[in-house]
């Protein structure tokens, strides 16, 4: 039993020290040290004034917490930039009286990712997430909660696409 634990411990040290594998699920090359998250501009027709800053800061916090990368303003190994291109409310389930019983808030973001050390990993991709809410509730009453949940989903998707290679 002790021998198995020693082998497991040694394997974990080797995997963690190689620099490519980490227990946070990232796969960042050992020579990549920094990331810039450029302010995500809000170019949607309907604008939530706090959304741009909220998404940008959530991305920075995610990289800060789950990677060893330093957050830089300029001249970094990785660059994440983009814009919010859609902030839409749509009706979902329509009742027999032709009234929507559910509404959906959808936020779409276009992200450009640049890896200066490994340009093959660069991409230009759109991400969209949504949250549903009852139409009997006004958007004003639930907007902050919905936006928080959508930003969390977007941040996770962008993080995974940029440094987790999923």
Q: Any residues with CB less than 8 A from the CB of 42 and at least 6 apart, and which?
A: 48, 49, 51, 52, 83, 84, 87
C-alpha angle with apex 148: 145 to 149, nearest 5 degrees? Answer: 90
Q: What's the CA gap between 25 and 68, in Å, rounded?
A: 12
Looking at residue 74, its pLDDT comes to 85
Fold of domain 29-164: Double Stranded RNA Binding Domain (3.30.160)
Q: What are phi and psi of 116, to 5 degrees?
A: -65, -30
So where are the chain's domains?
Answer: 29-164
User: What sign for the dihedral angle of Cα 36, 159, 77, 83?
Assistant: negative
The per-residue pLDDT for range 102-153, each reduced to its tens digit, is: 999 999 999 999 999 999 999 999 999 999 999 889 999 999 999 999 999 9
The per-residue pLDDT for range 59-102, each reduced to its tens digit, is: 999 999 999 999 999 889 999 999 999 999 998 877 666 676 89
Mean of the per-residue pLDDT values of the chain:
86
Q: What's the CA gap between 146 and 10, in Å, rounded?
A: 45
Looking at residue 2, its pLDDT comes to 54
Looking at residue 23, its pLDDT comes to 43
The per-residue pLDDT for range 91-111, each reduced to its tens digit, is: 887 766 667 689 999 999 999
Share above pLDDT 90 across residues of the chain, in percent, rounded to a whole number: 71
Share above pLDDT 70 across residues of the chain, in percent, rounded to a whole number: 80
Looking at residue 125, its pLDDT comes to 97
Q: Contact 133/142 with Cβ under 8 angstroms? A: yes
Looking at residue 70, its pLDDT comes to 96
Would you call 32 helix, strand, or coil by DSSP? Answer: coil
User: What sign for the dihedral angle of Cα 135, 138, 141, 147?
Assistant: positive
């Amino acid at each position: 039993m002790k021998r198995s634990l020693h082998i497991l411990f040694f394997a974990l040290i080797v995997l963690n020290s190689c620099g490519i594998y980490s227990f946070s699920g990232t796969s960042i090359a050992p020579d990549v040290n920094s990331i810039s998250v450029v302010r995500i501009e809000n170019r949607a027709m309907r604008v939530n004034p706090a959304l741009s800053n909220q998404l940008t800061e959530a991305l920075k916090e995610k990289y800060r917490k789950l990677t060893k990368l330093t957050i830089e303003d300029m001249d970094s190994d990785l660059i994440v930039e983009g814009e919010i291109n859609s902030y839409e409310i749509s009706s979902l389930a329509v009742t027999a009286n032709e009234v929507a019983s559910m509404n959906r808030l959808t936020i779409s973001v276009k992200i450009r990712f640049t890896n200066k050390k490994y340009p093959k990993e660069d991409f230009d991709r759109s991400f969209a997430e949504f949250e549903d809410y009852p139409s009997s509730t006004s958007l004003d009453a639930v907007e902050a909660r919905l936006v928080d949940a959508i930003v969390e989903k977007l941040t996770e998707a962008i993080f995974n696409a940029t440094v987790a290679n999923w």
